[in-house]
Amino acid sequence: MSKTVELARHLETLHINNMYKTDFYWTWDKTDEEIDAVFTVADALRDLRERNKNTKVFNSGLGISIFRDNSTRTRFSFASACNLLGLEEQVLDEKKSQIAHGETVRETANMVSFMADVIGIRDDMFIGEGHKYQKTFMDALEEGYRDGILEQRPTLVNLQCDVDHPTQALADILTLMENTKKPLSKCKLVFCGDTRNNVAYCLMYICAKLGIHYVGWGPKELAPAADVVEYCREVGKETGAVVEYGEDKELLKGADALYTDIWASMGEEDKIPERVKLLTPFKVTGEVLKATENPDCIFLHCLPSFHDFDTTMAASQKELGYDIREVTDEVFLSPNSKVFDEA
């Protein structure tokens, strides 16, 4: 029996009917069986591709991507995913579309979606807005479908907002699974740095959901919000996951994965001076990696990363007296680093 057939049989045992024709707004909306289904389908697609078998689910149709902020990895992953499934990717560039002439979100959403099966949106420009734009877009499509303008209603995939980054977190856990020989319930993931940013939050949740010991190692000034921690701890009660955070280096001990992110997320560039001061003690260095006492501990990063001064951003900040590297080359380029496998 091929691996894909085995995986398909496993899928049949999962309660995932609610996933069909529903959106992927939040990582924390998904049940553990739904997360399991995503991993299972990913494994099956990989198996098919490795054996040069057809992976296409669609004969025609569009996957529309709207990136209202920069992206490299997610942009290409979305394009590859559409292609793998048989959809053509079309990028909605707001500056080049009629949006620039004042067309409303409602009109645009309905106009572009008549052949679309999936819409991926990244919108994290306004801190505190969450998935507001994504929701406005999809509500317009819901209405369009209800009013008979659209024959079908495409599905949304959140390609990052200011509090969540589901596709990243799912790919991260897959990478952890591929690199550790242990069950997830015996794994420990430590997020180093700004422990209340979008990537830290979705990792905290997915770890809690899958029984992975989660640690946020960062300064108290950037500690995760109490209600988010409490929610994840509640989830952890069912799965056995420990969820903790703090400044103590002891927390690094026994980690299977160290994770970090840039210190000032997109849209927070004015906070660099303050962040450098707070986060320099939590930079991922060779010494931090050693403090895990696990030679097989992997290093993960959602990218982009500042690990040297070759980028214009890191170089210009250095001129101003700020070393914004959240990780050193010693770790980023080490064999422990799986940053390019994470896509």
Contact between 108 and ligand NVA by CB under 6 A: the answer reads no
The site map against ligand NVA for 285-304 (x = CB under 6 A) is -----------------x--
Closest separation between CB of residue 193 and ligand NVA, Å? 10
Q: What is the 3-state secondary structure (H, E, C) of 63-96?
A: EEEEECCCCCHHHHHHHHHHHHHCCEEEECCCCC
Closest separation between CB of residue 250 and ligand NVA, Å? 26
Contact between 305 and ligand NVA by CB under 6 A: the answer reads no
Please say which residue, 85 or 266, places its beta carbon nearer to ligand NVA.
Answer: 266
d(CA 197, CA 224): 8
SS3 assignment, position 55: coil
Contact between 155 and ligand NVA by CB under 6 A: the answer reads no
Question: 234 to each of 182, 209, 212, 227, how far by Cα in Å?
Answer: 24, 10, 14, 10
What does DSSP say about strands 257-260 and 188-192: parallel, antiparallel, or unpaired? Answer: parallel
Residues 159-198 that bind ligand NVA (CB under 6 A): 197-198
Please say which residue, 155 or 198, places its beta carbon nearer to ligand NVA.
Answer: 198
d(CA 176, CA 213): 13
Contact between 261 and ligand NVA by CB under 6 A: the answer reads yes
Contact between 113 and ligand NVA by CB under 6 A: the answer reads no
Please give the structure tokens belonging to residue 207: 């770890």
The site map against ligand NVA for 211-250 (x = CB under 6 A) is ----------------------------------------
d(CA 49, CA 162): 33
Contact between 124 and ligand NVA by CB under 6 A: the answer reads yes
Contact between 43 and ligand NVA by CB under 6 A: the answer reads no
Please say which residue, 141 or 258, places its beta carbon nearer to ligand NVA.
Answer: 258
Near ligand NVA by CB under 6 A, which window of 47-55, 261-269, 289-297, 305-313?
261-269
| Residue 268, number of CB atoms within 10 A of its CB | 16
Between CA 261 and CA 277, with CA 248 as vertex, the angle to 5 degrees is: 50
Near ligand NVA by CB under 6 A, which window of 78-86, 111-119, 150-158, 262-270?
262-270
Among 11, 84, 266, 343, binds ligand NVA (CB under 6 A): 266
SS3 assignment, position 260: strand
**Strands in 221-315 per DSSP E:** 243-246, 257-260, 298-301
SS3 assignment, position 278: helix
Closest separation between CB of residue 51 and ligand NVA, Å? 32
Binding site for ligand NVA (CB under 6 A): 124, 197-199, 261-262, 265-266, 302
